[in-house]
Amino acid sequence: MDHATITAVDAEHVWHPYGGFPASTAPRVVADCEGVHLRLADGSRLVDGMSSWWAAVHGYRHPQLDAALADQAGRMSHVMFGGLTHEPAARLASRLVAMTPEPLQKVFFADSGSVSVEVAVKMAIQYWRSRGRPAKNALLTWRGGYHGDTFAPMSVCDPEGGMHAMWRGVLPEQMFVPAPPDARDGEGAQERYLTMLDTRLAAAGDRLAAVIVEPVVQGAGGMRFHSPALVAGLRRLCRAHEVLLICDEIATGFGRTGTLFASDAAGISPDIMCLGKALTGGYLTLAATLTTTEIAETISRGEAGGLAHGPTFMANPLACAVACASLDVLESSDWRRRVPQIGARLAAGLAPLAHVDGVVDVRVLGAIAVVELDRDVDLVAATDAAVASGVWLRPFRKLIYAMPPYIISDEQLDVLVDGIGAAVAASLAATESAGGQRIRRGHRDQESTS
């Protein structure tokens, strides 16, 4: 198909994420990718600042990942997982058990992050049913979170970002506490927050199956960073009030925040952990929900006799094989040194933006950089400017952010920094000239976090 045909068919027939018809702007056509670059059908080459939404941590067309996929395709692309098993699943399960905290021993393979969260919620609810406490079936989370787009995850996404008003009567109503304090806020703020959590958990513990959070970094709900100490405090409180802790590490897992898992920075083990996104190095959709032997055995003693879930493409061998290869590449790489270096170079390059009128915050953690504006980003102006400077970005709401593949070079990081700067400038100029209502804020703390 030629470029124009692809665009025409796409516009006529194909949904895109959060999209509608007719689409407000045509998506760009990607011809192929290599290393840190996307090559568009018009021949331009872009440094990928998004790692295809956190996933492509080793870049594109990695020889080891390509080889693992081809090798597995030569043996078996898929086979049902009911009554059958295979080496790629066994290898991946043992790898995941070995690299996550010791209590996590049982692995459920799911086909996407959202499904792994559904499974985590089911595990928590079935666990308490099996223990004769079926009233413990609600979830508590903090605001500003994102856990996926199917219904159970949606019910614990930030109520505004997740448009809960639209889904009233359809979504289960969960309990929310305020968004966690920023990592840079003082110890007093952290302590007050934990005291508030303690009170809420004491009051609602009888109805709560689990607390679900993204540890340390809240991703698509607002790209906010909080202190690992807060996660450690939450771990203690959940135990004290007999509520399970689910850590959704779908975005934060596999080194992105500077530790292998974000909960490692807090020195804790959740009762249930969700992994996805970078699990296959961005090659195929695969996720995993890990839990403890005690939870797995308790569920299995219950009325259902096991966990009531079994996707058709569970533990897909191609995805498991490429995930094993991705973990090999990660473990043999110097990501522990490189991730903080990426962060430091992004922080230094982006620091001047903090003084730009219209920018309220610049923050960096691990290999994640965020520029927050005082108004919504003009998506078209920002994206066009980034692409013109050779960079792929996908801003949302007030945020222009990046989490590049770990293989990005210093020179490519400088291109990325320039692209972010161009996107910020273009977005501010476009919203200025459009006469958009400007809210002057001197400091991020004036932002409402209710």
Ligand X SMILES: *Cc1c(COP(=O)(O)O)cnc(C)c1O
Region near ligand X per CB under 6 A, out of 5-13, 89-97, 113-121, 325-333 = 113-121
Q: Is 147 in the site for ligand X (CB under 6 A)?
A: yes
- Binding test (CB under 6 A) with ligand X, winner from 114, 257, 316, 383: 114
- 162 lies in the site for ligand X, by CB under 6 A: no
Token pair in block for residue 400: 């222009």
CB of 146 to ligand X, least distance (A): 5
- Report the residue number, 274 or 359, with the smaller CB distance to ligand X: 274
- Based on the shown chain and the rule CB under 6 A, indicate whether residue 112 belongs to the binding site for ligand X: yes
Beta bridge partners of 106: 291
Stretch binding ligand X (CB under 6 A), from 196-204, 226-234, 248-256, 344-352: 248-256
Q: Is 146 in the site for ligand X (CB under 6 A)?
A: yes
251 binds ligand X (CB under 6 A): yes
CA distances from 161 to 143, 157, 296, 306 (A): 10, 7, 33, 34
Active site residue 146: yes
Catalytic residue among 106, 122, 136, 277: 277
- Annotated active-site residue 18? The verdict is yes
Q: d(Cα 163, Cα 166) in Å, to the nearest integer?
A: 6
Residue with smallest beta-carbon separation from ligand X: 113
Helix (H, G, I), strand (E, B) or coil at 27: coil
Question: Is residue 289 near ligand X by the rule CB under 6 A?
Answer: no
CA gap 52, 276 in Å, rounded: 13
CB 33 within 8 A of CB 60: yes
Encoded tokens for 245: 């802790």
283 catalytic? Reply is no
Number of chain residues interacting with ligand X (CB under 6 A)? 15
Catalytic residue among 18, 334, 357, 410: 18
Active site (annotated) includes residue 127: no
Stretch that binds ligand X, among 212-220, 353-361, 382-390, 442-450 (CB under 6 A): 212-220
For residue 150, CA distances in Å to 64, 113, 147, 155, 329 come to 33, 10, 9, 9, 31
Does the protein bind ligand X through residue 182 (CB under 6 A)?
no
- Residue from 60, 122, 127, 146 carrying the catalytic annotation: 146
CB of 282 to ligand X, least distance (A): 11
- Residue 284: beta bridge partners? none
In one-letter notation, the amino acid at residue 108 is F
Q: Considering the complex, state which of residue 112 and residue 263 has its C-beta at the smaller distance from ligand X.
A: 112
SS3 assignment, position 9: helix
* Host H or E run for residue 141: strand 138-142
Q: Which is nearer to ligand X, 235 or 277 (CB)?
A: 277
- Minimum Å gap between C-beta 80 and ligand X is 22
Task: For residue 292, report the phi and psi dihedrals to the nearest 5 degrees.
Answer: -90, 165
The answer to the question of residue 148 lying near ligand X (CB under 6 A) is: yes
Cβ atoms of 36 and 416 closer than 8 Å:
no
Q: Is 258 in the site for ligand X (CB under 6 A)?
A: no
d(CA 127, CA 271): 11
Q: In the beta sheet, which residues pair with residue 435?
A: none
We find the least distance from the C-beta atom of residue 91 to ligand X, in angstroms, to be: 22
Q: Which is nearer to ligand X, 128 or 146 (CB)?
A: 146
Using the Cα atoms of residue 34, residue 54, residue 337 and residue 67 in order, give the sign of their dihedral.
negative
Q: How far apart are CA 292 and CA 300, in angstroms?
A: 12
Span from 22-30, 58-66, 141-149, 346-354 in contact with ligand X (CB under 6 A): 141-149
Residue 154 or 428: which CB sits closer to ligand X?
154
Q: How far is the CB of 340 from ligand X (least distance, A)?
A: 21
Q: Does 36 bind ligand X (CB under 6 A)?
A: no
**Site for ligand X (CB under 6 A): which residue of 144, 180, 258, 276?**
276
Nearest to ligand X of 209, 430 (CB atom) = 209
Mode of pairing for the β-strands spanning 217-218 and 224-225: antiparallel
Hey, CA dihedral for 389, 443, 197, 152, is it positive or negative? negative
What one-character DSSP code corresponds to residue 308? S
Among 219, 255, 349, 358, binds ligand X (CB under 6 A): 219
Question: Looking at 48, 111, 158, 248, which residue is catalytic?
Answer: 248
Whether cis (ω within 30° of 0) applies to the bond prior to 22 is: yes
Q: How far apart are CA 58 and CA 56, in angstroms?
A: 6
Strand 45-48 to 37-40 pairing: antiparallel
426 is a site residue for ligand X (CB under 6 A):
no
Residues that bind ligand X (CB under 6 A): 112-114, 117, 146-148, 214, 219-220, 248, 250-251, 276-277
Question: Catalytic positions, please?
Answer: 18, 146, 248, 277
